[in-house]
Amino acid sequence: MKTYLEERIEWYDDNYRNGNALISNKQFDQLERNLFRINPDCDYFKKKNKLVLPTLKRDSIDEFLKGLLEDTRLLIEPKIDGCAVALQYSDGSLEKAITRKGADVTSKLIQVQDVPNNLPLQGVLQVRGELYATNQSSNISQKIASGFLRAKEGSTESLSFCAFQILNSKLNQYESKKILSKLGFTIPQDISCNFTSEVQVFRKQWLEGKLFRKYPIDGIVVKINSRKLQLIREKSNLHYPYWQVAIKS
């Protein structure tokens, strides 16, 4: 049976994810610490710490931009073609790495040079990124990365890991990537847009081969920067619940 404290934390968390923060982050973190001290094995922490790699929605840019204010800050990133991987660190140690289908590839990812095996932090950190082959076309990159993950043995010489997102963070996209960079991860280049109309300009530049030429890409990813706006899209009853979208044409 859930304790009153666990129910209260879940209630605060649900409100926060719906864009209605009732207490400060500092107050919420203190409540979480109190609950962890009392019952570290409760359902709240089991659910929160479950590692899941969400699917990246592929859609038209017009559908994604519908309903956004003109001054909504957006980030445009390369859609690197490789294998999507989620990493989980527990008290600084790389605990688990999974593919989109849930396959455990921890033994493989610890061999990749730019995947830190240890981080200077406590608690749980979940990172979303892409394993890819450098200096290759997009389709060859994907084949090399997937082949490495399937094989019993293989070289990591041409492989790199690019970290895009902290999955269990309350920070906005820009700040999340700054933290990842400070922790030693490679993060992707990005372009900041302050007006939704600019997205079409950069989409055209990508189609012309003028954007993110250092990566093996098969598209671009457009993201809402604000975590509050991300959560509103995720949890609201709007017809379009996605805060990031892959554009491939």
CA distance 79 to 21: 32
How far is it, in rounded angstroms, from Cα 120 to Cα 90? 11
Q: How far apart are CA 89 and CA 179, in angstroms?
A: 14
Measured distance CA(233)–CA(63) in Å, rounded? 13
> What pLDDT is recorded for position 80?
95
State the pLDDT at residue 238.
Answer: 65
**Distance of alpha carbon 84 from alpha carbon 127, whole angstroms:** 11
Quote the Cα angle for 69-75-79, to 5°: 130
What SS3 class is residue 59? coil
Question: What does the pLDDT profile of the chain (249 residues) look like in tens digits?
Answer: 788 999 999 898 887 766 677 888 788 888 988 888 888 888 888 777 788 888 888 878 888 888 888 889 999 999 999 999 999 999 999 999 999 888 899 999 999 999 999 999 988 999 999 999 999 998 899 999 999 999 888 888 899 999 999 999 889 999 999 999 999 999 999 999 887 778 888 989 999 999 999 999 999 999 999 998 898 887 765 677 889 999 988
Q: What's the pLDDT score for residue 24?
A: 84
Where do runs of H (alpha helix) occur along the chain?
Answer: 4-17, 25-38, 43-48, 61-65, 106-109, 138-150, 173-182, 198-207, 227-235
Ranges in the chain annotated CATH 3.30.470.30: 61-247
Q: Across the strands, what pairs with 161? A: 131
pTM for the model stands at 0.85
Architecture of domain 61-247: 2-Layer Sandwich (3.30)
